[in-house]
Amino acid sequence: MRQKLIVIGAGMASGRVIEHLVEQDPDAYDITLFNAEPRGNYNRIMLSPVLSGEKTYSDIVTHDDTWYAEHAVTCRFGEHIADIDRVAKTVTSENGDVLGYDKLLFGTGSNPFMIPLPGHDLDGVIAYRDLEDTERMMAMGPEKKVVVIGGGLLGLEAAAGMAARGADVTVVHIMGHLMERQLDEAAGYLLRKALTEKGITVKCSANSKEILGENGHVTGLSLDDGTVLPCDLLVMAVGIRPNVALAQASGIAVGRGIHVDDQMITSDADVLAVGECVEHNGAVFGLVAPLYDQAKVAAQTLQGQTASFVQKELSTKLKVTGCDLFSAGDFADGEGREDIVFRDPARGVYRRLVIENNVVIGAVMYGDTADSNWFFGLIRDKTDIADMRDTLIFGPAFQGGTPLDPLAAVAALPRDAEICGCNGICKGQIEDAISAGATDLGAIRAVTKASGSCGTCTGLVEQVLAHSLGDEFVIPAAQPMCGCTDLTHEDVRRMIKSQRLTTMAAVWQECAWKTTCGCHVCRPALNFYLLADWPLEYQDDPQSRFVNERKHANIQKDGTFSVVPRMWGGITTPDELRAIADAADKFGVPTVKVTGGQRIDLLGVRGEDLPDIWRDLNAAGMVSGHAYSKGLRTVKTCVGTDHCRFGTQDSTGLGIKLEKELWGSWTPHKLKLAVSGCPRNCAEATCKDIGVVCVDSGYQISIGGAAGMDVRETELLVQVATEEETINVVKAVTQAYRENAKYLDRIYKWMNKVGLDWIKSRVVDDLNERAALVARFELSQSIYRKDPWAEHVARQSDTYRPLANLSLEAAE
């Protein structure tokens, strides 16, 4: 005799259960299918192509009316279930019908999670879940503004679909990079770049604060940094929650989802559940592959057969045209895990494999996912990759061969193979230049321009030289920045400028970094290069700074810090001195010392006391002296015409002015200035990075001095007539140094490389260039000329204290 099966929810998982049943044993059950949506089963994951216009709804219907009729499935679409009586084994529909069952199957799916922001109930605020939502989005005309909250799989598909329809789309994502659950930072960067090229605005690390509305309809979204994004439609795609309400109301065990065992049976032996509504071994499900596995098991259970659901590795692909990405397995760092990273900046390709015990356990791929199935197979089958480890990252095509000799590879290139992409130079042109007498890299650059732009092909050009000239050419060992890259500092700076790289992830990708996130050598340098070149676009990264610049104090050998308040031009007051003395007493400062730069150094301050001592010094009107920074340190002065009988100008006043203009600026290395009031030079200006010596007729500005490991006298840059011109020349030379020098080169080292004449030609002779440098310096200072102490006291003093104190706990 046929049993009665009632199915609640016509989704992809329950639909697959019904398919298995009617195929395998059509006489086992009379099936009644309830669905709250007024339609049957369609392929929900294909809503994105419907939204973008690549498919229509009828293309994605899985079961139409004919199918249900053919298989004698009684459909009750658009009807909710009001009640379940598990003792009597009946369900009550919303119109009062009572139907008996032998077996009940939950396929209630999931609900979109709506963030309870103020204004979330306004008209025009929707989720992206079903056909109704999709139709709402499709009804938006072109030129309309749409904000999508959520930079995960669903949010990005919604954004791309609407952008394809001509809407002006902004994605707001709370995390630092897109799809952070599936992708690492590098792949997230490439994805963001591709979406930006499609005209989508992407805002990461953005916290939504309030949804704005007028007359009950959404008008915009405000972020907690004050930005307001106007919009006509707001889509929330921040995640899903299993829909357990009905199961819970019927007394079935639920956690995050409806609890099921390996046979897909709930806490009631006659009730099963499949799909996004279930929780199995602590996991809930959102991707389709495991749902189909569940459906197969549930169908067998319903037929009295033994089957078990086993969770498997999952992979993800994004269904956005033109964004090829793939992620599978576990790609978090972890004990005993190693990364293999491959980047091809020219093709926008990124691949990363995570290896543990000679087995691939995770993979992230962007740009070229052709081999993704092969890698997914390695993960799933736990293949031992020890033998192919060296070439693994290149994919299946490269397995079994011998490792390539780079010179042999270059030798094998045809004459028309392009070597320098920037200038379109082929191997043949370089060979011709070599035959014509260009026998080193500089000559090749001069003759052909090859490797003269972005510089990434430098190695290749050198290999062509080596191959053509044999032993006569020795490839020079260019000093790479660090072990993370083969590029030099100069190469990387050129790339940052020419390719407009404005984030660290962008540099790592476009310059083919070999590590996932750099090291202690390259990160501080990159952080400086990025903030110097893109002061408005780039966000300073404290985690890429040495502790001194992160905590705005100098770490000492015992882990305590030294604190130096700024004394403009070396001038102080009795009140300031009293405040310093009080602070030294209050915080038990063991050593108070006068520095060479005319400041007072409080040595031995405990890290956790830093915000408190700064608060006191701030209250007395003092700010950070930046005695720890690769940036402007001090402007040392003599007393000049104020008191000195030899003084020719107001050296103290000029020193204070210079310090007030330059303070807070970051430079490749420390930057020390001095202003002396006469050639007797009591401020020792001629051994500073930039020195000004006052004379009767004006101001002599000289640069490139040092009094450290190297002792150097400055060289004269120019003599000018006014204080104003002095200040402008100093700013211009500082900016030229910021824009061009290698990180950790003092001015004298930079000057040795580029030559004093090159600097003169820009900041002395070319007045337009000088003005442009000053303008760029001022732009940067509009961000960085501020007191870090005040900000840290106000906003992050907690971070200076221990995260927790367990000393009592542990002693119990």
Partner 1 sequence: MSNWIDIAALQDIPQRGARMVKTAHGCVAVFRTGEDEIYALDNACPHKAGPLAEGIVHGKAVTCPLHNWVISLETGLAQGADEGQVATHPARVEGGRILLDITCLRAKAVA
95 binding partner 1? (CB under 8 A): no
> CB of residue 191 vs partner 1: minimum separation in angstroms?
17
408 binding partner 1? (CB under 8 A): no
Considering only 141, 226, 322, 336, the residue that binds partner 1 (CB under 8 A) is 336
54 binding partner 1? (CB under 8 A): no
224 binding partner 1? (CB under 8 A): no
> CB of residue 131 vs partner 1: minimum separation in angstroms?
34
Contact 441, 451 (CB under 8 A): yes
Distance CA 671, CA 734 (A): 9
Residue closer to partner 1 (CB basis): 267 or 797: 797
Contact 793, 786 (CB under 8 A): no
523 binding partner 1? (CB under 8 A): yes
185 binding partner 1? (CB under 8 A): yes
Considering only 517, 603, 695, 707, the residue that binds partner 1 (CB under 8 A) is 517
Residue 2: CB atoms within 10 A of its CB come to 11
Residue closer to partner 1 (CB basis): 55 or 241: 241
803 binding partner 1? (CB under 8 A): yes
The tokens describing 80, both together, are: 């909710």
509 binding partner 1? (CB under 8 A): no
Considering only 269, 543, 574, 645, the residue that binds partner 1 (CB under 8 A) is 543
> CB of residue 438 vs partner 1: minimum separation in angstroms?
40
470 binding partner 1? (CB under 8 A): no
> CB of residue 342 vs partner 1: minimum separation in angstroms?
16
Q: Treating both helix axes as pointing N-terminal to C-terminal, what angle do 427-435 and 458-469 enclose, rounded to 10 degrees?
A: 50
609 binding partner 1? (CB under 8 A): no
Distance CA 419, CA 445 (A): 12
Residue closer to partner 1 (CB basis): 218 or 526: 526
797 binding partner 1? (CB under 8 A): no
Residue closer to partner 1 (CB basis): 113 or 398: 113
Distance CA 735, CA 631 (A): 12
Torsion of CA 189, 194, 195, 201, to 10 degrees: 70
Which of the stretches 109-117, 210-218, 274-282, 329-337 binds partner 1 when contact is defined by CB under 8 A? 329-337
334 binding partner 1? (CB under 8 A): yes
Which of the stretches 192-200, 544-552, 572-580, 748-756 binds partner 1 when contact is defined by CB under 8 A? 544-552
Half-sphere exposure (Cβ direction) of 113: Cα atoms closer than 13 Å: 10
**75 annotated to a ligand binding site:** no
Which of the stretches 12-20, 154-162, 377-385, 545-553 binds partner 1 when contact is defined by CB under 8 A? 545-553
> CB of residue 639 vs partner 1: minimum separation in angstroms?
38
The tokens describing 684, both together, are: 């020792």
For 569, left (φ over 0), alpha (ψ -120 to 50), or beta?
left
Residue closer to partner 1 (CB basis): 167 or 482: 482
Which of the stretches 50-58, 278-286, 748-756, 798-806 binds partner 1 when contact is defined by CB under 8 A? 798-806
Q: What are phi and psi of 280, to 5 degrees?
A: -125, 120
> CB of residue 122 vs partner 1: minimum separation in angstroms?
29
Residue closer to partner 1 (CB basis): 334 or 755: 334
Residue 164 makes CB contacts below 8 A (sequence gap 6+) with 51, 52, 53, 198, 321
Considering only 311, 423, 516, 641, the residue that binds partner 1 (CB under 8 A) is 516
The tokens describing 217, both together, are: 């309809």
Residue closer to partner 1 (CB basis): 25 or 339: 339
> CB of residue 184 vs partner 1: minimum separation in angstroms?
7
Distance CA 329, CA 326 (A): 11
Residue 226: CB atoms within 10 A of its CB come to 7
Torsion of CA 374, 375, 379, 380, to 10 degrees: -30
Which of the stretches 94-102, 240-248, 493-501, 514-522 binds partner 1 when contact is defined by CB under 8 A? 514-522
Exposed e or buried b per residue across 627-665, where buried means at least 16 C-beta atoms within 10 angstroms of its C-beta: bbbbbbbbbbbbbbbeebeebbbbbbbbbbbbbebbbbb
Considering only 451, 463, 544, 634, the residue that binds partner 1 (CB under 8 A) is 544
Residue closer to partner 1 (CB basis): 87 or 808: 808
Residues 558-597 that bind partner 1 (CB under 8 A): 559
SS3 state at 114: coil
Residue closer to partner 1 (CB basis): 711 or 808: 808
791 binding partner 1? (CB under 8 A): no
Residue closer to partner 1 (CB basis): 585 or 809: 809
Considering only 472, 557, 574, 709, the residue that binds partner 1 (CB under 8 A) is 557
Considering only 288, 359, 519, 571, the residue that binds partner 1 (CB under 8 A) is 519
Which of the stretches 54-62, 220-228, 537-545, 653-661 binds partner 1 when contact is defined by CB under 8 A? 537-545
Distance CA 40, CA 290 (A): 21
Considering only 428, 607, 653, 679, the residue that binds partner 1 (CB under 8 A) is 607
Contact 802, 613 (CB under 8 A): no
Residues 162-181 that bind partner 1 (CB under 8 A): 176
705 binding partner 1? (CB under 8 A): no
485 binding partner 1? (CB under 8 A): no
> CB of residue 380 vs partner 1: minimum separation in angstroms?
22
255 binding partner 1? (CB under 8 A): no
524 binding partner 1? (CB under 8 A): yes
Q: What is the 3-state secondary structure (H, E, C) of 691-754?
A: EEEEECCEEEEEECCEECCCEECCEEEEEECCHHHHHHHHHHHHHHHHHHCCCCCCHHHHHHHH
SS3 state at 505: helix
First-to-final CA distance of the chain: 68
Residue closer to partner 1 (CB basis): 435 or 543: 543
Which of the stretches 93-101, 140-148, 290-298, 328-336 binds partner 1 when contact is defined by CB under 8 A? 328-336
Q: What are phi and psi of 310, to 5 degrees?
A: -120, 130
**682 annotated to a ligand binding site:** yes
551 binding partner 1? (CB under 8 A): yes
Contact 736, 763 (CB under 8 A): yes
**511 annotated to a ligand binding site:** no
Distance CA 511, CA 527 (A): 15
Cα 367 versus chain centre, distance: 18
Q: Name the β-bridge partners of 271.
A: 104
Count residues contacting partner 1 (CB under 8 A)?
42
Closest CA to 260 of 238, 287, 289, 293: 293
**323 annotated to a ligand binding site:** no
For 617, left (φ over 0), alpha (ψ -120 to 50), or beta?
alpha
Which of the stretches 448-456, 637-645, 742-750, 797-805 binds partner 1 when contact is defined by CB under 8 A? 797-805
For 764, left (φ over 0), alpha (ψ -120 to 50), or beta?
alpha
184 binding partner 1? (CB under 8 A): yes
Distance CA 181, CA 329 (A): 11
201 binding partner 1? (CB under 8 A): no
Residue 5 makes CB contacts below 8 A (sequence gap 6+) with 21, 29, 30, 31, 32, 101, 102, 103, 104, 105, 302
Binding residues: 638, 644, 678, 682
Binding residues for siroheme: 682
Binding residues for [4Fe-4S] cluster: 638, 644, 678, 682
Residues that bind partner 1 (CB under 8 A): 176, 184-185, 331-337, 339, 515-520, 523-524, 542-547, 550-551, 555, 557, 559, 607, 799, 802-811
